Amino acid sequence: MAANRQKLFVLIFLLVAFLSYTAFLYSDLPVKYNSAKKNEDAGKLVWQKYNCNACHQVYGLGGYLGPDLTNVHSLRGQEYIKAFLKTGTGAMPKFYLSDEETHSLLSFLKDIDASGKADPKTFTLNYDGTIEQ
Amino acid sequence: MEPLNNNKLSTAKLFILAGLLLLATGMLFGLTGALQYLVPDFIKQYLSFEKIRPLHVSSVVFWIIFAGIGSVITYLQQYSGKKIFSALLLKVQFGIFTVSVLAILVSYCLGIFGGREYWEFHPAFALPIAIGWILFIINFIKSLGSFKKLPLYVWMWLTGLFFFLFTFMESYLWMLPYFRNNVVNDMTVQWKSYGSMVGSWNMLIYGSSIFLMEKISGSKKYSHAPIAFVLYFTGLFNLMFNWGHHIYTLPTYPFVKHISYAVSMTELFILGRIIWQWKSSVSTARKHYHHTSYRFLMAADIWIFLTLILAIAMSIPAINVYTHGTHITVAHTMGATIGINSFLLLAIAFDILKDSCVPLAKSIKWVNRGYYTANLSLLIFWISLIIAGVLKAKWQMNDVKIPFGTMMLKLRPYFILFFVSGISLITGFYFILFPLIRNQVICQFKKLFLKKEAIEDNVSGVFAMD
């Protein structure tokens, strides 16, 4: 009986900690909400509509067939991205995006680019195993 | 415990059978994807990679979910000694899940997406899946009855049931502009939900595996032992707080990463215990080696060891910087989903589906061949991914970078090895899956045929009487 009470106590403690952590993160997200980002928001939905993540990564998360696109906007520029979207490549099909979709997607990629650097070389490694950006 | 596990094709067994079919199909999609790494325009006009990848991922994820549900329902009935609360509710759940999964796979073929990585399907499909899961929870709770002195596996099932629903709903918070407005917020919440979701289905599978292990050994000691609960709470602690290791490189809150790093290190305790128990595991393995289910449990044990070493290493941020975004992450995922989840679920499938009208012993030679082929192939598959990952990590860290396409060409020998071992892996799995599926199908045909014959006999009997 005592053992069961102990288990229940540990479970409740963990659940309260988890829900508090979750509530804190939801209420105070790392970046503040910006209602002006309509184009970027539409671009994210275009990114999902064509399942770009199947081949491309953002911050190292996503597919492995194509390159990481976190900072492609500043590294290669809009015209370079547009050319790829229009012609496709060996593995990448032509997606026949409308002008509006292309514009939104470019805004989304620009917004990702502005959020930080994904290149692992830019990280500082500490002796305790942690990293700094 | 046994009587409920007869040769009748129950809905719980149907879940497992549907899961096995999804695994067989999902592996074919995976192989097609691997071929597209080598021949990029292979069937590109019909099923390009952005379609093949979700077809593969969703099929195998639903294999895990379907088989997990089937195992929990079967073992819950064996544990309680009673039938499930509502067979109808379970049938409705099966219907909802089957129709949804088929619709999802067809939608991928048509190029209809809209979701995010791992749940790429249109968000409209998330609703029936959530409803089906709620039916599952209702059926489970009503069937369980008493909550007193529950063994470990029931704790694990309950944890998996509620956390899956929570994290599944959490993974759809992106639909609210507040969460998707910024990529850092969006990815933080996405990986918070995904990290815990994997932990939740692991709870279902590990719970069923513990039940099976006790069934084979004939001892009920482990599921009430204090050490078992210490390991369970360590797992739960990780499920709740270690998800941040997926996003070490994302510019999110540093405390998310520090918490995750610290929590992940508690897995060293689990690793230490596996090493400590190694000798007794080997002697138990010798004792039960004749048991097909036990062999799969043993294979999963070895893969847990290998995958855990990789997972712990990747949970150290300074190492993760090198492995992140490389094929080492894929190796980790393959080790976990094939080596651990699939082998555990196959152990369970052999236990639950062994009672059929066709004795499984007739096919055991092929199952054994499949077992060794699958394990050896998976090891080669896993190593080829790790080597490809190490080379990509080296490329990522180089000051003067060759273009991405050139780097991928340099990885080609390892992709060839990955593809060839993939063929052999599928072959091994098909040797294992085929008798399991075939036996159940034959039995159903026999039943139908015999029933029809019996009806005809009765009818002709009636006519004879006339």
Give the pLDDT band of residue B459 (cuts 50, 70, 90): very low
* pLDDT mean across residues, chain B: 91
Of the candidates B184, B186, B160, B159, the residue with the CA atom closest to the CA atom of residue B174: B186
CB contact under 8 A, B114 and A67: no
In a domain, B19, yes or no: yes
Which of the 8 DSSP states describes residue B3?
Answer: T
Whether residue B425 contacts residue B374, with contact meaning beta carbons closer than 8 Å, is answered with: yes
Predicted local confidence at residue B460, as pLDDT: 45
| Distance from C-alpha of A81 to C-alpha of A56, rounded to nearest angstrom | 13
CB contact under 8 A, A66 and B177: no
Mean pLDDT, to the nearest integer, of B205-225?
A: 90
| Distance from C-alpha of B79 to C-alpha of B211, rounded to nearest angstrom | 9
In a domain, B228, yes or no: yes
For residue B162, what are the domain limits? 149-240
ipTM of model over 0.90: yes
- Tokens, residue B40: 């990029």
Residue at a domain's end among B98, B120, B145: B145
Residues B62, B87: one domain?
yes
- End-to-end Cα, chain B, rounded Å: 47
Chain B residues close to A37, C-beta within 8 Å? 181-182
pTM over cut 0.80: yes
pLDDT score of B465 more than 50: no
* Half-sphere CA count of B324, side-chain side, radius 13 A: 26
pLDDT score of A48 more than 70: yes
CB contact under 8 A, A31 and B184: yes
Predicted local confidence at residue B457, as pLDDT: 52
Helices of type H across B277-411: 278-288, 292-314, 317-323, 327-334, 343-353, 364-397, 404-410
Mean pLDDT, to the nearest integer, of B450-466?
A: 48
CB contact under 8 A, B240 and A66: no
Chain B residues close to A118, C-beta within 8 Å? 249
Chain A residues close to B320, C-beta within 8 Å? 131
Domain residue limits, chain A: 2-30, 38-124
Overall CATH class of domain A38-124 = mainly alpha
In a domain, B78, yes or no: yes
Give the pLDDT band of residue B466 (cuts 50, 70, 90): very low
If one counts every other C-beta atom within 10 angstroms of the C-beta of residue B91, the result is: 13
- At A61-113, the pLDDT tens digits run 999 999 999 999 999 999 999 999 999 888 899 999 999 999 999 999 999 99
For tokens 């195998």, name the residue: B60
Predicted local confidence at residue B451, as pLDDT: 64
Predicted local confidence at residue B463, as pLDDT: 36
Number of domains in chain B: 2
Q: Which residues 29-88 in chain A show a CB within 8 A of chain B? A: 29-31, 33-35, 37, 41, 44-45, 48-55, 57-68
Helix (H, G, I), strand (E, B), or coil: what is residue B325?
A: coil
Number of A/B CB contacts below 8 angstroms equals: 176
Which residue out of B250, B328, B391, B401 would a mutagenesis test of the A interface target, given it has the greatest number of A Cβ atoms within 10 Å? B250
In a domain, B72, yes or no: yes
Of the candidates B11, B29, B194, the residue with the CA atom closest to the CA atom of residue B109: B29
